[in-house]
Amino acid sequence: MNRYVLGCALAALTATLAAAGPADAQDSVRIGLVEPLTGSVAYNGKSVVEGARLAIEQINAKGGVLGKPVELVIEDGQCAPANSVNAVEKLVQKDKVAVLVGAFCSSATAAIMPVAAKYKIPLVTGVSSSAALTEQNNPWFFRAAETDALMAKAFAKILATDLKLKSVAYVGVNDDWGRGGVEEFSRDLSALGVKTALTEYFDHGTTDFFTLLTKLRAAKPDGIFVAAETQDGSILVKQFQEMGLQSKVFGVGSWATADFINLTGDAAEGIHAAVPYVSSVETPRNQDFVKAYQAKYNVKPGKYGAAGYNALNIVVQAVARAGSTDAEAIRAALAKTSYEAPNGVYRFTAKGQAYGFDAVLVRIEGGTPKVIASSPVEAPQ
């Protein structure tokens, strides 16, 4: 072969590899996952990772996607916006991931959304529930989770009636999610004639709630709405019991998870929680998932394990439909999602908000979340 022909061949090969992109040239399909693995939300972030790893294990056992194994590249975002942005920069620039999943806390997810848009790489969250996220019209962002607005709409009336609420105190972690949850539930409950007795916020990692609880005791509400994750929520509820407060507790967050119930003990009894998933739903698809999760981790999945599992399945199915790791093709494929999950069928609106799956209201009885109501999550109007 003469030099001219060899040069042309090399040029053609280089152009082909360049068109394929770095992700297509890899031996695996890499998916970047940003979750809080340290800090006060680590219990929940690790559960997301467990669900994601189970999904990848099952997918690879069936041959992977695009004829390649799926590789999960995990970074600790700590639920902190700056740390999460740094994690995404690494995943995109160094690890060359095809898709991003994360970043748990709504404030952290809000911080990485512009980064995903800058690099034009799809971003899916399985957890972040601040309604404001999908109102940004970021075409690269998809939320495979409920919003607190949807949960309040579904269950506010049932809570007000069943708990005989005339006044409610609202307590939430001081971030986008906590403030959003308080705003959504207080608005819908106020519309039903329930008075607001008090509104208080606390920081992630708080260990002493007694000043806040003294205010709650003085306010004498019928119910206390709480937006908190496992570590913060368990400490709050145990101190609530220590002070002998009798108000009925309900809210959003990690209430129905095994970690929360184990940490909180009998102080968790009677708590009501609005959640997108609970392991006790007796459908064949869910029970298959519960069996596989329990076999791998020796614990039943909670909402965060299910969130990680669902998000990774949604992403990999989109890659399969796209037929490549081209970012625009994956984004277009995500928009056409129809994923049969353990808790229903996920589809996305034009703004990237998931709908079609079932949400449930549970009450913790005997250390087990008992379903007392369910509602399909409908597309926002």
Render 44-74 in DSSP notation, one character per residue.
Answer: HHHHHHHHHHHHHHHHHHTT-BTTB-EEEEE
Residue 223: predicted pLDDT = 97
pLDDT above 80: residue 7:
no
Residue 23: predicted pLDDT = 60
Average pLDDT on 139-165 reads 94
Rg (CA), the chain: 22
In this structure, the number of other CB atoms found within 10 A of the CB of residue 70 comes to 21
State the sign of the Cα–Cα–Cα–Cα dihedral 224, 182, 41, 289. positive
> Of the ranges 63-72, 255-264, 362-371, which is most confident?
63-72
Residue 8: predicted pLDDT = 43
Percent of the chain with pLDDT over 70: 93
Residue 24: predicted pLDDT = 63
Residue 15: predicted pLDDT = 40
**Full 3-state SS string of 290-339:** HHHHHHHHCCCCCHHHHHHHHHHHHHHHHHHHHCCCCHHHHHHHHHCCCE
pLDDT above 90: residue 6:
no
Q: Which residue in 274, 237, 275 sits closest to 158, CA to CA?
A: 274
Rounded CA separation 126/143 (Å): 6
Beta strands 99-102 and 70-76: pairing type?
unpaired
Percent of the chain with pLDDT over 90: 88
Rounded CA separation 239/349 (Å): 41
Average pLDDT on 264-269 reads 96
pLDDT above 60: residue 9:
no
Let me know: does 343 contact 371? Beta carbons within 8 Å.
Answer: no
* Per-residue model confidence as pLDDT tens digits over 170-181: 999 999 999 999
pLDDT above 60: residue 160:
yes
Residue 379: pLDDT band (50, 70, 90) is: confident
Residue 74: predicted pLDDT = 98
The one-letter amino acid at 380: P
Rounded CA separation 250/238 (Å): 14
Q: Match 């919003």 to its residue by tokens.
A: 147
Residue 17: predicted pLDDT = 40
pLDDT above 60: residue 166:
yes
* Per-residue model confidence as pLDDT tens digits over 365-376: 999 999 999 998
Rounded CA separation 306/301 (Å): 6
Residue 20: pLDDT band (50, 70, 90) is: very low
H helices within the chain, ranges in order? 3-24, 42-61, 81-93, 106-119, 148-162, 176-191, 210-219, 230-242, 258-264, 284-297, 303-322, 327-335
Residue 25: pLDDT band (50, 70, 90) is: low
Residue 22: predicted pLDDT = 55
Residue 270: predicted pLDDT = 96
Domain annotation for the chain: domains and CATH numbers: 10-146+282-348 (3.40.50.2300), 149-275+362-376 (3.40.50.2300)
The one-letter amino acid at 120: K
Q: Which residue in 38, 55, 17, 161 sits closest to 104, CA to CA?
A: 38
Let me know: does 168 contact 247? Beta carbons within 8 Å.
Answer: no
Rounded CA separation 374/280 (Å): 12
Structure tokens, 214? 């003294």
Q: Which residue in 279, 261, 258, 259 sits closest to 270, CA to CA?
A: 261
Residue 5: pLDDT band (50, 70, 90) is: very low
Average pLDDT on 197-208 reads 96
Let me know: does 115 contact 85? Beta carbons within 8 Å.
Answer: yes
First vs last C-alpha separation in the chain:
65
Q: What is the pTM of this model?
A: 0.90
Residue 334: predicted pLDDT = 98
Residue 116: cis peptide before it, omega within 30 degrees of 0: no
**DSSP code of 267?**
G
* Per-residue model confidence as pLDDT tens digits over 93-133: 999 999 999 999 999 999 999 999 999 999 999 999 999 99
SS3 138: coil
Let me know: does 186 contact 236? Beta carbons within 8 Å.
Answer: no
Residue 26: pLDDT band (50, 70, 90) is: confident
Rounded CA separation 279/92 (Å): 34
292-300 LR contacts (CB < 8 Å, sep 24+): 292/54, 292/58, 293/50, 293/51, 293/54, 296/50, 296/54, 296/57, 297/50, 297/54, 299/258, 300/258
